[in-house]
Amino acid sequence: MRPCTLVFIGTPQAGDRAWHLRHFIDVRNDARLDIVEHQLGAADHAHPGQRGAAPAPGQRTVVRHARIQSDAVRATRFARTDAVLAREAQYQRFDLELGAALSRNELNVRLEGDGARLTANGVLLGDGRRHVDTRLGIEHIARDTACELVWRGIADGRSKVVFHGGIHIRSGADGTDAALSNKNLLLSADAEIDSQPVLVIDADEVKAAHGATVGQLDAQSLFYLRSRGIPEAQARRLLTVAFCRQPLLALEDDGLRQFLLGRLDAALAASLGTDPSIDGASA
C-alpha cells in the first residue's frame, strides 16, 4: 500500500511569509492508512509556519503516521496534532525533529474507544542555537487502552531541547497500560535539556510507568571505538546514532525506517562535522 505523502517546502521570498494549514484525516472503520509528512526548506528563509492535523481513526483501523521536520535553519515551525481514537483503533506515530531555528510540536491523543492503542515515538535534535520544543498530551478515557511513548533528545552547541510528556488516565479507564520513556544526550556543556514527564492516574486497576534521564556519551564506549582507529568525532556520531535507534524500532516499514535513519545520520554528521559516508552509521 502506497502512503499518503504530504510535503511542505519553504522557499526564499522577497520578505518573510507566514502560512497556516490544517488537515482533517477521516479514516473509516476497518481501514488502513500510511501517512508520511515532510516539512523541509528548499533554501535559506525565515518564514513562520503553522500546521494543524486532526486524524480520526475509526473502529479497528490502523493509521501509521511518520513526520519529518527538516526546515531551514532560520525558519519557525509550529505543528499540532489532535487525534481521537475509536474502539480498537491503532495509531502509530513517529516524529523526527531536525530543522528550524524554533520548532514546537504538540501531539494530543484521546483514546476514547475501548481497546484503542497508541505508539508515539520520536527523536529531537538540537544543534547550533536551535530551540526544539515537544509536548505530548495523552488522555486514556476508555477501558483497556494502551500507549507506548519512546523519545530520545540530543542537544549540541548552544541549543535547547524541551520535552513535556503528559499522560492522564481518567476515572473509568480501567485496564489501561501506559508507558513513557524519555532519554536525552548532552553533547555540549553549553546546551540545555529540560524534560518533564507527567503521569496523572484517576482510575483503578491500571499499569503505568514513566521516566526521564539526561546524560552524556559513555566514556568507555567512546574509548573502545577510538582504540579501534575510529576518529573521535566519528565515534561520537556512531554512538549517538545508536542511542536514537530504539524509537525507530517500532516502525514496521523497513524502507521508511532506513530512510529516517539516513536523514538522522546526515543531520548528526553535519552537526558534528563528520563524514556520513563512512560505513556502519546507518546500517
Amino acid at 16: D
Residue 115 covered by a domain: yes
Higher pLDDT, 143 or 262: 143
Mean pLDDT of 55-69: 95
Quickly state the pLDDT bin for 274 (edges 50, 70, 90).
low
Residue 69 covered by a domain: yes
How far apart, in whole angstroms, are the C-alpha atoms of residue 142 and residue 177?
A: 12
Residue 231 covered by a domain: no
**28-32, 37-41, 264-268: which is most confident:** 28-32
Residue 129 covered by a domain: yes
**Predicted structure pTM score:** 0.91
Mean pLDDT of 242-261: 89
Residue 241 covered by a domain: no
Give yes or no for a contact between 169 and 140, defined as CB atoms under 8 angstroms apart: yes
C-alpha cell at 16: 518573510
Residue 275 covered by a domain: no
Mean pLDDT of 203-212: 94
Percent of the chain past pLDDT 90, that is, above it, reads: 74
C-alpha cell at 207: 499499569
Residue 248 covered by a domain: no
Quickly state the pLDDT bin for 283 (edges 50, 70, 90).
very low
Amino acid at 167: I
- What is the number of alpha carbons within 13 Å of residue 99 lying toward its C-beta? 28
Position 161 scores a pLDDT of 97
Q: Is 279 a residue whose pLDDT tops 70?
A: no
Higher pLDDT, 191 or 280: 191
Quickly state the pLDDT bin for 276 (edges 50, 70, 90).
low
How far apart, in whole angstroms, are the C-alpha atoms of residue 125 and residue 267?
A: 8
Q: Is 267 a residue whose pLDDT tops 90?
A: no
Quickly state the pLDDT bin for 281 (edges 50, 70, 90).
very low
Mean pLDDT of 133-141: 98
Q: State the chain's mean pLDDT as an integer.
A: 91
Q: Which residue has the cell 566514556?
A: 219
Overall domain count for the chain: 1
Residue 222 covered by a domain: no
Q: Cα dihedral angle (106, 107, 112, 116), rounded to 10 degrees? A: -170
Strand segments, DSSP code E, in the chain are 4-10, 19-27, 32-41, 48-57, 62-70, 76-85, 90-97, 102-111, 117-126, 131-140, 146-155, 160-169, 177-186, 192-201, 207-215
Quickly state the pLDDT bin for 27 (edges 50, 70, 90).
very high
> How many other CB atoms are there within 10 angstroms of residue 30's CB atom?
11
Residue 42's domain spans which residues?
4-217
Q: Is 255 a residue whose pLDDT tops 60?
A: yes
Mean pLDDT of 189-207: 95
| Of 29-33, 111-115, 258-262, minimum mean pLDDT range | 258-262
C-alpha cell at 57: 481513526
Residue 258 region by backbone torsions, left for phi larger than 0, else alpha for psi between -120 and 50, else beta: alpha
Burial class (CB in 10 A: 0-12, 13-18, 19+), 279: exposed
Angle between helices 232-243 and 219-227 (to 10 degrees): 130
Mean pLDDT of 86-100: 96
